[in-house]
Chain A
Amino acid sequence: MILDSFLIRAALAGVGVALAAAPIGAFVVWRRMAYFGDATAHAALLGVTLALATGLPVTLGVLVSATAMALTVAAAAGRGWAADTALGVAAHAALAIGIVALSFLHGVRVDLLGYLFGDILSVTRTDLAVIWTGAALIIGLVAWRWRGLLLATLNEDLAAASGVNPRREGLVLTLALAVLIAVALKIVGTLLITAMLVVPAAAARPLVRTPEAMAVLAAVVGTVAALTGLYAAWHFDTPAGPSMVVAAVVILVVTSMAAAIRGR
């Protein structure tokens, strides 16, 4: 069967993550949440530790830790901490504590590098099912709340006057982000998840005129980057996750230069 090929499974996994990351990535760019994404993603390692220590599925552990981190950071930023400082502390504290905590797990062999940079070539059928379920969940959630999310992103007061609760929309986005991190961990790893969010969306930006077009084009860019990166990893024996990010960055440079030449 076709899914027997680990390369096909890897490709499907990469495409699934790229599709799910696109709409969230657009909002991360518009709302300037890149650092927030980093903090949340770095909390994934704590989730891995939690899962391995309790015997829960890793995806569930990551989902819990990422959600908890996102909510904590959002609350801290709301309490008058400079958002930048709060996020900087949270992002790196989570990463360091996560690595330290992992080292305390005795009797469990942990592939730290895999969690940091992803291990797409070892994706199983179960992983694929989790990834595509998560992707469907994310895309469905964002599509359902699309108008409210856009209004809340444009202006919170405008949203409130239109009967949209901007805090609730922010929560929707946070949850979607946590799900994405849970399913993307295996593909690009905790350190590069934010790259898969931000880079395709930024690459799409110069070429589009509407928010919808940006999300769709980001999905296309992410997909191309995932497949190209995988191809490069196969041929040049480079690490797959970072290769996908490099491919996305190359596309970003090309679209930015094209836009500059067109003289926008």
Chain B
Amino acid sequence: MSQLSVDPLSATPSPVSPLIEAEGLGLTLSGHQILHDVDFSLAPGEIVTVVGPNGSGKTTLLRVLIGAERPDTGRITRAPGLRIGYVPQRLAVDRTMPITVDRFLALAGGTPAARAGALERTGIAGLGGRQLAALSGGQFQRALLAHAVLREPQLLVLDEPAQGLDQPGEARLYGLVAELRAEIGCAVLMVSHDLHVVMAASDRVICLNGHVCCEGTPLVVSAAPEYRALFGHGTHGALALYRHDHDHGHEHGHEDGHDHDHGHGHGHHHGHSHGHERPESNSGPGTPA
């Protein structure tokens, strides 16, 4: 297969080594090959979104990258002492477990003042004394986000964080993620099966279906034949929210199609190359771009 790739380091020209670098990842779980030949690299501060259909291995890839699952093949190198703030797809708090939001946040660390600050920052100030299991879906995701932020992460990993939220709630959550990202300056690695939520500011989109079908800027990926093969013509949505955010049109989410032709280019300028291999020399540790 052909691979569209954009070198991340040319997009973010900083002479630092990647936070996570993986090569040739493969994983088979109970007879099913979930991932194969996945190469991955994430630079500090970079925002990467992984898209793919259900069952394409997105969550598994995240789990492998954060160290929750060991791959059968391939290598992963994480920056020493890498601090990851993780927001899982689903966290079912058993009703048998009594735990307040504040106690949950304390597991991430931080002073009581820092915890109160994190709650305020994520828009759920004053809920510290509430039972975790009693929160609404949106409040819960924000509590998870507060937990992640308290770890002072270098990398924020979000696995479909807006699942189960209505569309305004989803848009607000992604808006919040973007704000937090801007404040902390951390890298963001996010998963979505929903094309409409490809993050406005994504530096790079990885289209996954067991392997990396294509990757690049949102515009490049949405034009790639591999992506179209997976998602049909549903490219409007991805671009719609992508552009919407430039217009600050959060509230409406995606009313795709209409403004399809009015698209303007992304604010960043990414050099991209078409070809099979990513230039290794540029992704080596400490190599100035």
Contacts and interface: CB of A to CB of B under 8 A. Distances in A.
Interface of A: 29-30, 32, 80, 147, 150-151, 153-158, 160-162, 166, 202, 205, 208-214
A161 B157 contact: yes
Nearest to B84: A161
A209 B131 contact: yes
A33 B104 CA distance: 22
Interface string B203-230: 0000000000000000000000000000
Given A80-B30, A158-B91, A209-B131, A150 B107 contact: yes
Interface in B83-118: 84-86, 88, 91, 93-94, 96-100, 103-104, 107-108
Given A161-B67, A161-B84, 11 more contacts: A154-B93, A154-B99, A156-B68, A157-B63, A157-B68, A158-B88, A158-B91, A160-B68, A161-B85, A162-B107, A210-B98
A244 B131 CA distance: 32
Q: Which 8 A-B pairs have the closest CB atoms?
A: A161-B86, A160-B68, A157-B68, A161-B66, A30-B97, A161-B84, A155-B91, A208-B98
B107 A32 contact: no
A165 B147 CA distance: 18
Most A C-beta atoms less than 10 A away, residue of B30, B107, B108: B107
Contact of B68 (A29, A161, A209): A161
18 contacts: A154-B99, A154-B104, A155-B88, A156-B68, A157-B63, A157-B88, A158-B91, A160-B63, A160-B68, A161-B67, A161-B84, A161-B85, A162-B86, A162-B151, A166-B68, A205-B96, A210-B103, A213-B98
B237 to A, nearest CB: 28
Interface residues of B, number: 26
Contacts of A158: 86, 88, 91, 147
Given A150-B107, A210-B99, A211-B98, A160 B93 contact: no
Contacts of B84: 161-162
Given A161-B68, A161-B84, A211 B30 contact: no
Contacts of B66: 157, 160-161
By CB atoms of chain B within 10 A, which of A150, A166, A202, A213 has the most?
A: A150
A150 B63 CA distance: 19
A192 to B, nearest CB: 21
B91 A210 contact: no
Interface in B152-169: 157
Contacts of B108: 162
